[in-house]
Chains A and B, each alone.
Chain A
C-alpha cells in the first residue's frame, strides 16, 4: 500500500515537472512581453525596455532555453520570479492561492458529495419525479458555460436584493473587514462566498450526479446486493454500505480531471464575481503578456492535479480493499 502510493507520487511528480516546463515553453514562445511597452507615450527608449525585460528574465531575444534554465533554477529554490511590472510573484502568489483554494475546496467537497447523493438517490428511485427532474436539470446546467450560470445567478441575486445588499455580488469581503477574522467578518465573507460557491457547486452536482446515476444503476441489479439483502440487511443498509460504496469507486478518479476543469470554471467565477485568485491571474497574465505569471499558474494547476490525484488514490485505497493488497 505504501509502496503503491509512493510509486503514484513519483509518477505524478514527473508529470507535474513536465507539464509546468511545457507551459513555460508555450508561454515563452507565444507571448510577447515587449508589446506591453510599445504604446507608451512618450515612447520608451529601446535600451530601457530591453533592460527591464532582461531584469525579469522575459527578453524574447534571449533563447527560450536559456530563460527556461534560469526560471527552473529559481523555481527549484522556491522563487517564482517577478511579474512584468517587477513585483515579486511569490507575495502575490500566496495570497491568490489562498483565495482560490478556499473557494475550490469548499465547492469541490460540497459539489461532489451532493452530486453523488443526488445521482445515487435518482438511480434508486429511477423514473420517479426526483430522478426525472434532476436528470433534466443537469442536462440544462451542463449545456451552459460556467459564466452563464454565474451571470444568471448574479442577475437573480440583484433582483432578490432589490436595493438592499444581503447577497454580495462582488469581491471576497468588504473593505472594512480586511484582515479581520471575527464573527462579523466571517459572516461578511459568507455573504460574498454564497454566489461564487453556488455557481461551482451547481455545475459539479450536475456533472457528478450524471456519472453516479449510471454507476449506481449498474450496481443496483448486481448479485452481491441481493446477497446482502438475503443475509438480512435492511434495504437502506445494503444500499449504502454495499451499493453506494461500489458505485462511488469509478467516480473517484474523475476527481483528478475535474479539478482541472474546475479550475477553468473557477477562472470564470473569479472574473464574474471579482475574486482576486489564480483564475483571475491566468486571464490577466495572458492578456498582459506576462510569461512568468502564466508559468506560475501552470505550476499551480499541475500541483493541484498532483494533490487531487493523491487524494483520489487515497480515497480509492480506503474504499477498495483490493488496492491495499498490492
Chain B
C-alpha cells in the first residue's frame, strides 16, 4: 500500500478494526427489470489474434511474475526446498524398509544408525518413517487450510465490502468477535466433537478460525475497488452483485489472495502442530509432525534426535513457505514497500557498477 506524504494512509489513525469505516451508501439501484438482452458491447469480445501485440514485447502477467520471482534468490530457494520436502515426504518412505507403524522390539530409543537413519522412539518406531509420514500430513493440511481459509476470507470480506449496510455490519461484527475469542481455545474446545472423524474435518476446523484478518483486508480493498469505473459499468448494466464480486472484484485482488494463501498455509502448519502437541489435533492412528514432536518432547533433553528431526522438518516447511510468500509479494505487487526498496537498491548497485566502468 502506498502511503500518503504524512507517512500514513488516510484511514490509519483509526484502529484497523474500527467499525466506523465509512461505507458508501448503496449506489443507485441497477435496472433490475431489464431483460438480459445482449447489447453489442455486453458480449465478450476477443481481440483477433492478428491485432494482439506480439508475445515478446508484452509478456503475459504470469510470465512477468515468474520472471520477477526467479530474480529473487531466496524465493527460488524456498520453492526448491518445498519441492524437496514433497519429494522426501512421498518418495522418502520408499527408501527404508521400516513402516511408520512397525515397532522394532530390538531397538528402543537407539540413536541414528545405518539401520535406523534417524534413530528410534521409546516404543521402537523408526523415526525416519514416522517423521516422513507426519511430513505428508502436515504439508497436505497446511496447503488445504491455506486455500480454504483464503477462499473464505475472500468471500466474506468482498461481500461485506461490496454490499455494505447490514451485510457489512453483521459480517464485520462476526469477524471482530472471532478475533477476540482466541482461535486456539475455540478449536481446542470443539476438538472433542470432531474426534474420530479424521483429519479432513480438522482442516475445516482450522480454516474456519484463521480467515478473519485477511477478511478485513479484503473488505477494505473491496471498498476501494467498488468505485472503479469497470465495477460501476457492470453495475449499471444490471449485472447482479454476487456476479460482480466473483468476476470483477476478487480477480482484481488475486495477487493479495495468492500471497495470503501461502502465508496461511505456513500458519496452518504451525497451528496444526500446536494443537496436535496438546492432543487436540490430528488423532493417533494418523500422525502429523505435531504429534511426532509431542510424543517425544518429554525425552528431548536426553535424546535430542527425537526432537530435532521432526522439529527441523517443521521449521523447513515454515521457512520455505515464508520465502515463497515474500518472493510472490515482490513479484505480484511491485508497489509494495519491500519490492520498491529492493528495486532502489538494484538501481543503486547498477549505478555503482556503471561508475566503476
What count of chain A residues pass the 8 Å CB interface test? Answer: 66
Report how far A22 CA is from B179 CA in the complex, Å: 13
Contact at A294–B301, with CB atoms within 8 Å?
no
Report how far A26 CA is from B241 CA in the complex, Å: 34
Q: For chain B, what secondary structure do more than half of its interface residues adopt (helix, strand, loop), or is it mixed?
A: helix
Cross-chain contact of B13 among A219, A263, A302, A320 (Cβ < 8 A): A320
The stretch that binds B, out of A51-59, A69-77, A80-88, A242-250, is: A242-250
- The A267-288 residues at the B interface (CB cut-off 8 A) are 267-268, 271-272, 282-283, 286-287
Check if A134 is an interface residue, CB within 8 A of chain B. no
Contact at B319–A297, with CB atoms within 8 Å?
no
B: contact size bracket:
35 or more
Contact at A286–B7, with CB atoms within 8 Å?
no
What 1/0 flags go to A287-318 for Cβ under 8 Å of B? Answer: 10100001001100110010000001100100
Return chain A residues, CB-CB under 8 Å to B183: 264
Give the nearest-CB partner of A271 in chain B.
Answer: B278
Contact at A15–B185, with CB atoms within 8 Å?
no
Check if B322 is an interface residue, CB within 8 A of chain A. yes
Distance (Å) between the CB of A24 and the closest chain B CB? 10
Distance (Å) between the CB of A51 and the closest chain B CB? 24
- The A212-244 residues at the B interface (CB cut-off 8 A) are 214, 217-219, 222-224
Give the nearest-CB partner of A247 in chain B.
Answer: B7
Check if B297 is an interface residue, CB within 8 A of chain A. yes
Cross-chain contact of B280 among A23, A140, A247, A286 (Cβ < 8 A): A286
The stretch that binds B, out of A41-49, A99-107, A146-154, A183-191, is: A146-154
Cross-chain contact of B319 among A140, A155, A249 (Cβ < 8 A): A140
Report how far A247 CA is from B15 CA in the complex, Å: 14
The stretch that binds A, out of B24-32, B45-53, B269-277, is: B269-277
- The B1-59 residues at the A interface (CB cut-off 8 A) are 3, 5-8, 12-13, 15-17
Check if A126 is an interface residue, CB within 8 A of chain B. yes
Give the nearest-CB partner of A295 in chain B.
Answer: B189
Check if B240 is an interface residue, CB within 8 A of chain A. no
Report how far A139 CA is from B321 CA in the complex, Å: 10
Cross-chain contact of A250 among B8, B179, B184, B318 (Cβ < 8 A): B8
Check if B181 is an interface residue, CB within 8 A of chain A. yes
Contacts from A to B (Cβ < 8 Å): 15-16, 18-19, 22-23, 26-27, 30-32, 126-127, 139-140, 142-148, 151-152, 154-155, 158, 214, 217-219, 222-224, 246-247, 249-250, 253, 256-257, 260-261, 263-264, 267-268, 271-272, 282-283, 286-287, 289, 294, 297-298, 301-302, 305, 312-313, 316, 320, 322-323
